[in-house]
Structure 1
């Protein structure tokens, strides 16, 4: 009976598991070789899904890599709070190196996700659908690695089973093309839904992301210019978007109430969500509650961690009547007093009683915020953001599904591809459809500058800002509390722990 190298609740030494290095590394004794006939493919597949939770839902992992490096999030050090050895300041200022703890852990956990997914693909007992779902999960983790670090360790087939063989490294456009091919191979066997499973339209949305960013991946030493975007790539983005738009099972539409896309019952009410990570109390879930805990003050309900904020320059991109800016939300504001969106100024409880900070001063969040806060107001600086309406019922295991892809993003990607292809009028019509529903006036002209701002307004704090800023040529600019950046910071450094165990990886230029 053939024996597979399947990981069953194993904890290989981290560098071995995540880098797939040589057997000289020490094994923990929880690794077992298991007869393939005794393996339940669905259990291994669930492990692959669960492996996505930490890199995506934890406030310090891939979300931080995409958002804290952009112009919409800041993580101030508030006196003795939130110093964390400077990791948040380093992300905001674009000063990371190969030993940044959060980036190191993100890279490792993305490789772990790839490893679990490949375990499923390697099982002869796995069904075609199970293998396709695993291919999607693997493609998503590889895309995130490519986008952040450019170098994607990869092993499959005999090389996957023989840990003495080092993984190859896929880079740049070659890696992008491989991810596309994987997704194209998976689509036919993927289900139509539900949104919490890998599905056909999720694969198409991810392919759109890859095609849209191929101009970025051609040369990681610079931001792409307008002429770097291939018309054939843009045509594929448009065609894939049209397939998703034409879908009837499920049928997508823009959600009239914006914040319903992120609510505790979003999987039941949202018509926009294409793919989300499941958060079901007692079944499966991640740290989605960090999307409100990390910002809320200690004296709000729930008592938060009083950390992250947005920047006033980003906040000022919104028009006053924009529905995405701030709203009371049924069952949330009436329970804890917290609104959804951007929280500026005096905060109140559910009885409209003005709240105070821990020193008894008014709890009124200010537009002003610095990377290092001192003085009497350090608890209240910075406009806070609550994108996900709070789940007051489920406790730490919150019920909001964590959104990865939604319909509005598909429409905006199509609009971008049309604009880059020279069809401004058609692109503008799409953007104005979204703006109308969000309560703001039409654009009379669509440019790359107002399109990147619209992506910011629609997709703020959803984990795409770094990706967007690089593609639009703005990531290296100076903004609040950040000087202009060196081009080497278009990539993250390959973690030193990975370089130490995999000689097929090389450090990215400048680090």
Structure 2
């Protein structure tokens, strides 16, 4: 399986990363100063491929050894809390109606209740993760120029591949800048052209970060330069191709009214269409083993499932950490499961008794939504949540499993083989549909067909647009996103785009710390996270976001 193969390329990275990660990069734009050994590191041609693998590993692993012990990011007591996907997921899910977490940690409790401040550990950890990825990508791009390759006598095989590798590095940098743009707004843009160890940079506006991400992704997909990603479906599994870049662009444009106060829905339709029309991806519409089509996308062999455009590969033997799908599986489990039933049903011995779904989100599903609603565990559970830290309250939602489609456990009962699907074809369908309704282009008939394709797979039939069925509306699409993309780190941005993240129109248990219904989050300013206090202290050029 490709996912297992590519993860093994991460094994030789510790020595390389140690030199380049001397600093944990406390803010975007402050480069680590321990880079003098670059020529020593790149003595061998294979070091470039290994360093590229380290860039991908930055989305998965947490440090120089697994599962913990030599972290990339300093200042976080539990290294598992610093994992990229885990931080991104928590910041998109915990402040919404989709998830609450029963860990007695101040950052967790603040995210659950929606009363975080600039010293929240998740907020500072994610900022550092974005910075770390940007810094690593910049280092790779500085050290892989044609001049550097010639100077070091790099062989023709590596030189021939370098244009694509540089495009991949630029994609990963743009991906992290999109995450930073979405979470924090305007942050400093730093590229390989900035001097290492220079003065702290000035912040860029949200508009400028938006334009940087847009221009970078267009350059590596449609540009005339040599640095171009492979066509959709033509890259090794777990590595970026043009479709992955199109998905970032489609998300960027779908949220452009939030990001830059400019409607770009026509562009969102265009790039979602490029993914759909590429022919490289198809919906998973057939069962795999005893698992339904939808459940097949979240198993230990989901690298063999259809419809995953870009994933963060996991390997229970070789990429061990306490984030990503390890966290999503283990934190979702607890009573009523016994240890043996955990192994039999989820391929793990770990049950952290943390994550549950609120009743508001659960109620989006109904009994005929066979494929997607089967993820919930309701027996011996009370749906109502009146306290975040009481794991006995709320239904469980163990969507991700460390089982193969044949029902076998992954390679480890602690660390899963289940890849995290960052972009899926189903999301492209939903972006096309929403952007069509909001914008001036797109085919509403096609949008209806795409939504019906998803609903049919889920057991709801093809009823949208029929005389006895619902109409295709923005509200229907939001609910459909809440079902199809449940626990895939989209809910916060969806609620913000729909004007429901703050205010009282949509409430859920614990919103603003109130039970059982919740009340409005205090202030529209919470649609952005604060710049961490540590960053403001490190870089005096930064300014705090309004409201904090």
CA distance in 1, matches of 2:456, 2:314: 31
Distance of aligned partners of 1:399 and 1:150 in 2 relative to their CA distance in 1, 3 Å threshold? same
What is the SS of the residue equivalent to 1:319?
Answer: coil
Determine if the alignment matches structure 1 residue 289 to structure 2 residue 326.
yes
Paired position in structure 2 for 1:316? 363
Stretch moving more, 422-431 or 300-309 = 422-431
| Aligned equivalent of 1:34 | 39
Q: Is the 8 A contact 1:44 1:119 kept in 2?
A: no
Match of 1:223?
none
Change (3 A) 1:58 1:15: closer
Q: Matches of 1:321 and 1:57 in 2, distance apart?
A: 36
- Structure 1 distance, partners of 2:319, 2:410, is 16
Tell me whether 458-467 or 444-453 shows the greater mean CA deviation.
Answer: 444-453
Q: Is the 8 Å Cα contact of residues 142 and 179 (structure 1) preserved in structure 2?
A: yes
Closer, same or farther: CA 493–263 of 1 in aligned 2, 3 Å: same
Q: CA deviation at 1:88?
A: 2.3
Contact 1:254 1:407 in 2 (8 A): no
Q: Is 1:114 matched up with 2:128?
A: no
Pair 430,57 (structure 1): closer, same or farther in 2 beyond 3 Å: farther
Structure 1 residues 34 and 168, CA gap change in structure 2 (3 angstroms): farther
Structure 2 residue aligned with 1:500: 537
Q: Residue 260 of structure 1 aligns with which residue? A: 296
Task: State the partner residue of 1:48.
Answer: 55
Q: State the match for 1:337 in structure 2.
A: none
Q: CA deviation at 1:30?
A: 9.3
Residue of structure 2 in register with 1:90 after alignment: 110
Q: Does the 8 Å CA contact 1:173/1:214 hold for their aligned counterparts?
A: no
Q: State yes or no: 1:419 paired with 2:437.
A: yes
Contact 1:50/1:285 (<8 A) preserved: no
- Normalising by structure 2, what TM-score? 0.76
What's the CA shift string for 1:180-201, capped at 9, x where partnerless?
Answer: 1101111262122233001111
Q: Quick one: distance in 1 between partners of 2:295 and 2:394? A: 21
Structure 1 residue 390 displacement after superposition? 2.5
What are the equivalent positions in structure 2 for 1:153-232 lying under 5 Å apart? 153-159=188-194, 161-187=195-221, 189-191=228-230, 192-219=234-261, 230=263
- Which residue matches 2:24? 14
Question: Equivalents in 1 of 2:498, 2:236: separation in Å?
Answer: 33
- Structure 1 residue 372 displacement after superposition: 4.2
Q: Helix, strand or coil for the counterpart of 1:45?
A: helix
Look up the match of 2:306: 271
Runs of 5+ consecutive residues of structure 1 not aligned to the other structure: 1-5, 77-81, 220-227, 328-340, 346-363
What CA distance in whole angstroms lies between the structure 2 residues aligned with 1:107 and 1:282? 29
Change (3 A) 1:31 1:281: farther
| TM-aligned CA distance change 1:280 to 1:182, over 3 Å | same
Q: What TM-score, normalized by structure 1, do the two folds share?
A: 0.81
Count of residue pairs the alignment pairs up: 446
1:66-77 map, 5 Å: 66-76=92-102
User: Matched residues in 2 for 1:405 and 1:56: separation?
Assistant: 21
| Residue 172 of structure 1: how far off its partner (Å) | 1.7
Q: Deviations over 1:421-470 (max 9, x none)?
A: 26654433321221111111423312221211110000000111111111
Structure 1 residue 484 corresponds to structure 2 residue 504: no
Is the Cα contact below 8 Å between 1:99 and 1:496 reproduced in 2? yes
CA deviations 1:112-145 (Å, max 9, x no partner) are 0111111222222361010001011111100000
**2: CA distance between counterparts of 1:68 and 1:37?**
42
Give the corresponding residue for 2:11: none
CA distance in 1, matches of 2:357, 2:17: 41
Q: Which runs of 4+ in 1 moved over 6 A?
A: none
Deviation, 1:15, is 4.7
Cα deviations across residues 473-494 of structure 1 (Å, max 9, x unaligned)? 1111332221212111011010
Deviations 1:311-335 (A, max 9, x none): 11111111202134444xxxxxxxx
Tell me how far 1:106 sits from its aligned partner.
1.0
Q: 1:137-177 deviations in whole A, cap 9, x for unaligned?
A: 11110000000000222222341x33123234333222112
Instruction: Tell me how far apart the structure 2 counterparts of residues 31 and 495 of structure 1 sit (CA, whole Å).
Output: 29
| Cα 1:313–1:100 shift into 2, 3 Å | same
For the structure 1 residues 58 and 239, does the alpha-carbon distance in structure 2 shift closer, same or farther, using more than 3 Å as the test? closer
8 Å contact from structure 2 (residues 316, 410) kept in 1: no
Q: Equivalents in 2 of 1:50, 1:501: separation in Å?
A: 26
